[in-house]
Structure 1
Amino acid sequence: LAQYGVPLVGVAKKQKNHQADRFIIEYRELSGMHITYSSDVREMFKMIKEGWLIGLIMDQDPSLRDGIILDFFGRKTNCVTGPATLARFQNAPIFPGQIRHRPDGGHHITIFPPVYVEKTKNKQEDIRRTMQQLVDILEQQIRNYPEDWFWLHDRWKSVREIGMD
């Protein structure tokens, strides 16, 4: 998206190794993205107001302190809350997307209709409901194109640690 001129912020986790971190950031910036660390929420708020899109990966297993337990492939799993939290706070839409490999070696990007976070008096329920909707979209895309979901870490680790699996 950034290569096509979309003002896109990639959100990264800071690596412990400084050289590895620098390499990853520089590589991502080559595509035209602005990179910010996941800890810099103020920068994300500022950039949303300036019209930037924030790119968040949501198939991660966050810490139990930071996550929310949702249904994913018929199992309870710990999910991030960032997309719904940011969108609710900024009154911004969430545009789920997927990148698929094409047979010719290229990629096809699909951007789905916007998801809006309802803003009721129950902030946690608004976030839970929206994140479940996003997780359902992710699950359906994985079911449709399992060959395009490449995942390197244990998706159900934290729920196993608390005996929910």
Structure 2
Amino acid sequence: MSGAGDDDRPGLVDRAASALFQGLMAGARLIPYERRIPMVGWVFSRLLAPLAGWPARIRANLALARPDLAPAEVARLCRAVPDNAGRAMAEIYSGAEFTSRIRAADILEGAGVPTLEAAAADGRPVIIACAHFGNYDAMRAALSARGWPVGALYRPMNNAAFNRHYIPAMEAIAQPIFPRGRQGVGQMLRYLRGGGWLCLGFDQYIRDGATLRFFGLPTETVLTPAELALRHDAPLVPVHAVRQPDGLSFRVHALAPIPPSDAETMMQSLNDGLEALTRAHMDQWFWVHRRWKPPRKKAGPA
């Protein structure tokens, strides 16, 4: 892991970054929730994102995917995308305050809800296809609030010191969660075979993925959600939490399940659905991802 020494202890830079973040979150928790969430969004947007180089990445991605946008809209998104990310992080670290708000509101809607209800009644596994949109954990909290068995696969952060508080924060929202890697994937598959539901992201560049399209551009896309759905006879249901205009509340959209066919066709349907949702809410997808990369050159004959 980044910054770890020979004894696997996080390095000084990682520990300092983690401590600064924990200090920010601890200070934010002293502020009432309705002011805390936008405040942390402002800190991410105006202070942390520029230090991390996010605006340049957002501009580069928008130049590829939405070259039609006016300069003023690009500038707005360079602020609004980090603001949403900061709000989401503040919500995760608000623990029970966040989940109790989700549980108290009936925010789940959409054509996929009957499929989810039927699967829960039958003890049938479900693959929840999700993305870095709105707040991923609001979606997990909304499903878990109904008593449904919502697990998730996650990629541990490179900063091991950060993981030590980030993973418990995620677990406080819904369990179980499984780390990527042989042991975590084995646990995940046993959970799925037992009728568990699994949240899987599909919106990041995957080096060995299938070349599909997103915003009309070729990008390597993971096939695992569709492959697991087909292998385990599980419905593949796209679910996304959409932040509302007040900046604090959500609607969770469970879309119609993806019809079973082949993995690439199913994953292209997911890309198309996420693109339509993102076009409607441009500030809520995490445009910081390196979603599009130049095609890799094929190795020639030895």
User: If the TM-score is normalised by the length of the shorter chain, which range does it land in?
Assistant: 0.7 to 0.9
Q: In the aligned structure 2, how far is the partner of 1:61 from the partner of 1:37? A: 18
Unmatched 5+ stretches in structure 2 = 1-142, 298-302
User: 1:27-73: CA deviations, max 9, x gaps?
Assistant: 1011122110133332222212222211111110112x2x1100111
Larger Rg: 2
Q: Per-residue deviation at 1:152?
A: 2.6
**Structure 1 or 2: larger strand share?**
1
Matched, 1:31 2:173: yes
Q: In the aligned structure 2, how far is the partner of 1:32 from the partner of 1:134? A: 24
Partners of 1:10 and 1:34 within 8 A in 2:
yes
The aligned counterpart of 1:52 is 196
Say which SS state the counterpart of residue 95 (structure 1) adopts. strand
Amino acid at match of 1:147: D
Percent of pairs identical after alignment?
30
User: 1:103-160: CA deviations, max 9, x gaps?
Assistant: 2311110001112433xxxxxxx11111111111111111122122123321102xx1
CA distance 1:30–1:151, change in 2 (3 Å): farther
Amino acid at match of 2:250: H
The aligned counterpart of 1:102 is 244
Q: In the aligned structure 1, how far is the partner of 2:258 from the partner of 2:188? A: 19
Matched, 1:149 2:262: no
- After TM superposition, the structure 1 stretch with the greater mean CA deviation from structure 2, 75-84 or 42-51, is 42-51
Q: In the aligned structure 1, how far is the partner of 2:260 from the partner of 2:165? A: 35
Partners of 1:62 and 1:80 within 8 A in 2:
yes
Structure 2 length as normaliser, TM-score?
Answer: 0.47
The aligned counterpart of 2:205 is 61
Matched, 1:87 2:237: no
CA RMSD of aligned residues (A): 1.8
Structure 1 length as normaliser, TM-score?
Answer: 0.83
Amino acid at match of 2:219: T
Unmatched 5+ stretches in structure 1 = 119-125
The aligned counterpart of 2:129 is none
